[in-house]
Amino acid sequence: MRAFTAPAFVVFLSAAVTIGAQQGPPRDARSQKPTTGIIRGRVVAADTGMPLRRARVTVSAPELSTQRAAETDLEGRYGFTELPAGRYRVRAAKGLFVPIEYGQRLAFEGGRTIDLADDATLDKIDLALPRGGVISGQVVDDLGEPVAWARVSAMRSRYEQGKRKLLPVGRPVVTNDLGQYRLYGLPPGSYAVGSVPEPTASDDGYPFAPAYYPGTQNPAHAQRVSVRVGQERGGVDFVQPPGRLVTVSGTVIDSRGRSVAGASVGLVDVGAGSMLSSRVNPDGTFAVSNIAPGDYGVAVRLQDPVTGILDMIMVPVTVLGEDVAGLVLPVVPGSRITGRVVTVEGVPPPFTPSGLRVSPNPLPSGMPTRIAMGGTSGAINSDWTFEVTGFAGSLLFRIGKLPQGWMMKSVSLNGRDITDEPLDVKGTEEIADLEITLTNRVTEVRGVAIDALGRSVQEYAVVVFAEEASRWTWPSRFLATARPDQQGRFRLANLPAGRYLAIALEYLDEGQSEDPEFLESLRAKATAFTLGEGDSKALELKVVRIEG
């Protein structure tokens, strides 16, 4: 846990902020009230208080599908007008400074929301950006010679998509001809520093293996480097030993097992945002060379010469120190899935489906996922029917951007509930009678937090999670987090009915709530409650401090 200690981080909120009652949900997604709300303030440097010009400020209200962006003026001021009433998050970013959300006190915690009522003005929503930390050093080989064109990142361990990963923070940098690097704009924290050579730079035919400070190839043995607000840590030098870049090869086939030519195959390094690619030979074989050890997605891209639609499948693969051969990548046509959206009464919703889509969300698994890029897959028609084409894999179906006051209740196929049960789609079948049910009996969990003496607390984070541990698997509808608004109140909406546990914490790190072990550690100190359909629960939670 790293604090932006005073005066390094300050968020100002005027006592004269106008607050109004929250409005009820509209009956039609288009029948919004006039958008007359205003949010404005300043962005300054935390250490000097000087205004930051051309800082990028964004305001977003996920429940309203609203997002706006602006730049600060010469005095560091920004302003947003004609905003609909809702709950907003405000974020500011600029160059060498650490991006900050309104209400964020500590590195890697979420910001606070602010409630904007009809015709309200939220003034002096000011943000102070701390200067980022710097880690610098040199990368050399086992002979002490500089390693140029190595991609160096600062990384920290956290949960993402149900797995603990070592993920980059900020932007990676590339070493210069002296093997030097400089990572900047880092939030205060503890980092592993790692280096991966760029395969395209291996012109001398002398490849290197990925390495981590102070010189290990095992990320679990990487020594952490800590930086405070604005601190520069130099001399983080390490050795990048010689390694073996490998080749990944295999065959691309269609749904009948025949080889496919004319496609391209690429190995995607998602964390680095890079890809190495190769054409598929006439006999359907492919080989991608100069691959460093790591986790990749093998992507096959095939464009239909008639429709122009770009098809893609993605298969995960782990590369160690040996060549990977014999991969078989099946390009399937993609299934056609049709269905309808109804309410719990079995009739169409009382608003228009304009802008709404059905999203088939592929789960990270060993099953290939094919996506037809283009077309109108998932668009909901005026009669509330929909068609999803070009998908295969293990899929969960969701519908987003619903108007306030509505939530998804269930997803069923031929009468079988598959709301939280992934549907295995082979990619060659037609699936009909998928039904997504909406309800206006939305749930709400709201409340406040108090300290050990019963006094109101303004700074905390809330985790609400299902009592049943089997519902913690990513992605879960039965898990939500929140930070309080400017009045110290928290609110969570649209959780499914069920038995829950709620806890208020002094601090919640990003991704921490996805960790089943962490949730289990909270069970004994959490408050249990039952949430029925349409229920609104008011809770008073005592803030708990979690050590470690």
Tell me the CATH number at 148: 2.60.40.1120
69, amino acid identity:
A
432 shares a domain with 357: yes
> Residue 134 and residue 62: Cα distance in Å, rounded?
33
Pairing outcome for strands 114-116 and 86-93: antiparallel
pLDDT at res. 245: 76
C-alpha distance from residue 352 to each of 349, 382, 399, 403, 406 (Å): 8, 7, 14, 10, 13
Domain with 268, as residue range(s), is 246-331
pLDDT one-digit tens code per residue, 357-409: 998 887 765 455 655 544 446 889 999 999 988 787 788 999 988 988 999 99
108 shares a domain with 167: no
Burial class (CB in 10 A: 0-12, 13-18, 19+), 126: buried
Burial class (CB in 10 A: 0-12, 13-18, 19+), 254: middle
C-alpha distance from residue 397 to each of 160, 350, 383 (Å): 20, 22, 19
Residue 163 resides in a domain: yes
Secondary structure letter of residue 237 according to DSSP: -
Last residue of a domain, one of 439, 470, 501: 439
Highest-confidence segment of 33-42, 56-65, 201-210, 431-440: 431-440
208 shares a domain with 160: yes
What count of Cα atoms within 13 Å lies in the side-chain half-sphere of residue 136? 12
Neighbours of 205 (CB within 10 A): 6
Mean pLDDT score, 339-352 = 94
367 shares a domain with 293: no
Structure-model confidence comparison of residues 237 and 14, the more confident one: 237
Which of 120-134, 298-312, 335-349, 452-466 bottoms out in mean pLDDT, i.e. has the lowest?
Answer: 298-312
Structure-model confidence comparison of residues 434 and 360, the more confident one: 434
Global pTM value: 0.81
pLDDT at res. 4: 55
Highest-confidence segment of 116-130, 270-284, 313-327: 116-130
> Residue 218 and residue 243: Cα distance in Å, rounded?
13
Mean pLDDT score, 195-217 = 69
Secondary structure letter of residue 344 according to DSSP: T
pLDDT one-digit tens code per residue, 25-50: 434 444 455 568 999 999 999 999 99
Structure-model confidence comparison of residues 313 and 464, the more confident one: 464
pLDDT one-digit tens code per residue, 485-527: 989 999 999 999 999 999 999 999 988 999 999 999 999 999 9
> Residue 108 and residue 399: Cα distance in Å, rounded?
29
Confidence band of 3 (pLDDT split at 50, 70, 90)? low
Residue 63 resides in a domain: yes
pLDDT at res. 362: 78
Which of 113-117, 203-207, 499-503 bottoms out in mean pLDDT, i.e. has the lowest?
Answer: 203-207
Cis peptide before 130 (omega within 30 of 0): no
Task: Indicate if the alpha-carbon torsion angle 344, 348, 352, 357 is positive or negative.
Answer: positive
The total number of structural domains that make up the chain: 5
206 shares a domain with 278: no
Q: Which of 134, 197, 113, 190 is nearest to 158 (CA)?
A: 190
464 shares a domain with 449: yes
> Residue 217 and residue 211: Cα distance in Å, rounded?
5
Residue 1 resides in a domain: no
Highest-confidence segment of 61-65, 303-307, 458-462: 458-462
Whether the CB-CB separation of 33 and 83 falls below 8 Å is answered with no
Share of the chain above pLDDT 70, in %: 86
pLDDT at 547 > cutoff 90:
no
pLDDT at 12 > cutoff 60:
no
Residue 5 resides in a domain: no
90 shares a domain with 22: yes
Residue 220 resides in a domain: yes
Residue 262 resides in a domain: yes
Q: What is the CA radius of gyration of the chain?
A: 26
The backbone torsions φ and ψ at residue 169, rounded to the nearest 5 degrees and listed phi first, read -115, 125
231 shares a domain with 139: yes
pLDDT at res. 21: 33
pLDDT at 188 > cutoff 90:
yes
Q: Which residues of 133-152 are buried (b: 16+ CB within 10 A; e: fewer)?
A: bbbbbbbbbeeeeebbbbbb
42 shares a domain with 18: yes
Mean pLDDT score, 338-354 = 94
Share of the chain above pLDDT 90, in %: 57
Whether the CB-CB separation of 245 and 323 falls below 8 Å is answered with no
Whether the CB-CB separation of 180 and 186 falls below 8 Å is answered with no
> Residue 236 and residue 212: Cα distance in Å, rounded?
10
- Token representation of residue 120: 């309200």
pLDDT at res. 25: 40
Confidence band of 325 (pLDDT split at 50, 70, 90)? very high
Three-class DSSP category at 35: coil
Cis peptide before 7 (omega within 30 of 0): yes
Task: Indicate if the alpha-carbon torsion angle 527, 529, 535, 540 is positive or negative.
Answer: negative
- Write out the DSSP string of 471-515: GGSSS-TTEEEE---TTS-EEEE-PPSEEEEEEEES---TTGGG-
356 shares a domain with 308: no
Residue 4 resides in a domain: no
Q: Taking the mean position of all CA atoms in its chain, how far away is CA 191?
A: 20
Confidence band of 11 (pLDDT split at 50, 70, 90)? very low
Which of 329-333, 355-359, 421-425 bottoms out in mean pLDDT, i.e. has the lowest?
Answer: 329-333
Residue 3 resides in a domain: no
Whether the CB-CB separation of 353 and 380 falls below 8 Å is answered with yes
Confidence band of 412 (pLDDT split at 50, 70, 90)? very high
Last residue of a domain, one of 83, 101, 129: 129
Task: CATH number of the domain at 325, please.
Answer: 2.60.40.10
Confidence band of 99 (pLDDT split at 50, 70, 90)? very high
pLDDT at res. 14: 31
Confidence band of 9 (pLDDT split at 50, 70, 90)? very low
74 shares a domain with 59: yes
Strand locations in 161-245 (E): 163-174, 180-186, 189-197, 211-212, 225-227, 232-233, 238-239
Q: What rounded mean pLDDT belongs to the chain?
A: 85
347 shares a domain with 327: no
Last residue of a domain, one of 239, 255, 273: 239
pLDDT at 202 > cutoff 80:
no
